[in-house]
Every structure is written in C-alpha cells, then in structure tokens.
C-alpha cells in the first residue's frame, strides 16, 4: 500500500476517477489537506464519501490567511468546531514568499499558534507547510512535538540536509514529493531522512517537472527512493506505510 500523505484532492473535478486511477497504482490512501473554510467543508465531505481512501486534514493555509485577514477569526471558530472530525491539522504553516511584510508574518505566526493549540487540545498530528522560512517553521513543529508528544510532518521539506538532520533528532516526520525524480539536491536531502520518519506525498494537483500533479505519482516517488536507497519498491512502500500508521495513530496525550 502506498499513501499520499499530502494532496489537494478537493481541487480535482473528477475525484472518483482520481481515486480509482491512484488505487490501480497501489496508492490506496490519500491525506487530503485543506486551505480555507470552503475546502475544509469539501475535505470532510470527501472523507464521508470515500472513508476507506480519504483521510482529512483541516486547517488554514498561511497564504490564505494574509489574503483574507478579515475572515480569519470566523474561520478559526469553524475550525475549532470541526477539527475533532479530522485525522490531522493541515495544511498550516508559514510562508515568507507571500508574507514579505513583518505585519503579515506576525499574522501568520499568530494564526499558526492558535491552530497548533487547537490540534493539541484535539490530540491531532500536524501537517506543516514552510516556504522561505524553513527553520522557523520547523522550530514550531519541534516545539509542538516536545510539548504535546503528538506527531508533526514537514511537508515537501527537502531543501536542506542540515534541517532534516534536526528533524531526525527530534522525531519529526518529513515527506518527499515528485521533485525527487529530477532534482539532485532533493535526492541528497531525501537520503538523509531517517528510515522511520520518511513519508511520501505529491501535493497534487501542483505540477512538477512540467507534469500535472496526481496522487498516483506517489508510486514514481517510491520507485525513485527505492533506487536511491538500494531497496525494492515494495520495501519502501511497506516502510512508509508503517511510518504513516505510526504518524496518524490516535494518541492518548
């Protein structure tokens, strides 16, 4: 079994076909993360419709937050209400590509802190986005994990071997996406991730290497990692499936 631990299935028109096509490639479980109130509702609906395939991540994306500052308070209240129905908090994080002004960065930080508090209260693991502020975001994941004992995943966090080593030491999961197929630096970083913290993802429908994103590409990511690590693809699939089961397991803290 292969798991896409971070995708945006709600952004596809033909959801049923996407699930079927991915399943044919062995990608039978999809963590569908949300970005805003509308996608939170859609993601929960997908989980209800496809309970064996879809796991739900609920949360407010850092880019949405700064583009919709007047709607943030209401959205946080909605999230508080429905987060117990989710499997994890996500996609949340910090993004300095879009938040270049300090005032926007502070807003992202404040909203992230409030979402992490909700996750802690509901005992949910977290799925974090980081862009142009990798270390700061990773530090939030580490603090969350230390204080709550709950799991944290850094999504698409394959830019720095040094930061991945810190994730390894802190027990923070790191997911690898399709950039590993063609990018040597991503391959080097992916090799550094501890066996027991490695996860696979696509971030579909985000396109990579000129090809549209699709959850079935988890298979290509797994094949590439198998080659890099000198393993069979079935071994990587089993390893990552075990990791994901541990990551998502309900926690009593």
What is the chain's length? 253
Contacts with Zn ion: how many residues (CB under 5 A)? 2
**Contact window for Zn ion (CB under 5 A) among 40-48, 201-209, 212-220, 238-246:** 201-209
Ranked by CB distance to Zn ion, the top (closest) residue is: 203
**Under the criterion CB under 5 A, does residue 203 sit at the interface with Zn ion?**
yes
Cβ closest to Zn ion, residue 38 vs residue 234: 38
Please state the closest distance from residue 155 (CB atom) to Zn ion, in A: 6
User: How far is CA 38 from its chain centroid?
Assistant: 18
Kindly tell me which of 87 and 203 has the beta carbon lying closer to Zn ion: 203
Name which of 11 and 229 has its Cβ closer to Zn ion. Answer: 11
Nearer to Zn ion, 4 or 220 (CB): 4
Starting at the edge strand found earlier in the chain, the sheet holding 198-200 runs 2-7, 27-33, 54-58, 88-95, 126-131, 152-154, 173-176, 198-200
As measured in angstroms, the least distance from the Cβ of 231 to Zn ion is: 27
- Of 10 and 203, nearer to Zn ion (C-beta) is 203
The pair of three-digit structure tokens given for residue 42, joined into one six-digit string:
């859609």
What is the distance between the alpha carbons of residues 99 and 103, in angstroms, rounded to a whole number? 8
Q: Using an 8 Å Cβ cutoff, are 47 and 32 in contact?
A: yes
Distance in Å, CB of 34 to Zn ion, minimum: 9
Nearer to Zn ion, 91 or 95 (CB): 91
Site for Zn ion in 40-59 (CB under 5 A): none
Closest approach of Zn ion to the CB of residue 8, in Å: 6
Instruction: Fill in the per-residue mask, 70 to 109: x = in contact with Zn ion (CB under 5 A), - = not in contact.
Output: ---------------------x------------------
> Mask 150-189, x = binds Zn ion (CB under 5 A)?
----------------------------------------
Give me the least distance between CB of 114 and Zn ion, in Å please: 20
CB of 238 to Zn ion, least distance (A): 25
Q: Of 134 and 226, which has the nearer Cβ to Zn ion?
A: 134
Q: Which of 91, 69, 76 shows the shortest CA–CA distance to 155?
A: 91
Closest contact distance (angstroms) between CB of 14 and Zn ion is 19
Contacts with Zn ion by CB under 5 A lie at: 91, 203
């Amino acid at each position: 079994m292969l798991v896409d631990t971070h995708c945006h299935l709600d952004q596809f028109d033909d959801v049923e076909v996407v699930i079927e096509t991915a399943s044919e490639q062995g990608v039978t479980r999809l963590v569908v993360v949300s970005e805003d109130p509308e996608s939170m509702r859609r993601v929960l609906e997908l989980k209800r419709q496809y309970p064996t395939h879809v796991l739900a991540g609920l949360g407010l994306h850092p880019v949405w937050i700064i583009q919709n500052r007047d709607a943030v308070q209401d959205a946080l209240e909605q999230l508080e209400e429905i987060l117990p129905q989710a499997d994890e908090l996500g996609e949340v994080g910090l993004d300095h590509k879009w938040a270049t002004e300090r005032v926007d960065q502070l807003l992202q930080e404040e909203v992230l802190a409030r979402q992490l508090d909700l996750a802690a209260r509901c005992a949910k693991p977290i799925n974090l986005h980081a862009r142009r502020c990798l270390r700061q975001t990773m530090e939030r994941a580490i603090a969350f994990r230390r204080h709550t004992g709950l799991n944290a995943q850094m999504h698409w966090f394959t830019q720095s071997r040094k930061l991945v080593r810190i994730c390894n030491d802190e027990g923070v999961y790191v997911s690898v996406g399709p950039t590993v197929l063609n990018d040597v630096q991503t391959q080097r970083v992916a090799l550094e991730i501890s066996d027991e913290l490695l996860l696979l993802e696509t971030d579909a429908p985000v396109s990579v290497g000129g090809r549209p994103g699709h959850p079935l590409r988890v298979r290509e990511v797994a094949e590439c990692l198998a080659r890099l690590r000198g393993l069979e693809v079935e071994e990587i699939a089993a390893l990552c499936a075990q990791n994901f089961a541990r990551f998502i397991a309900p926690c009593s803290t």
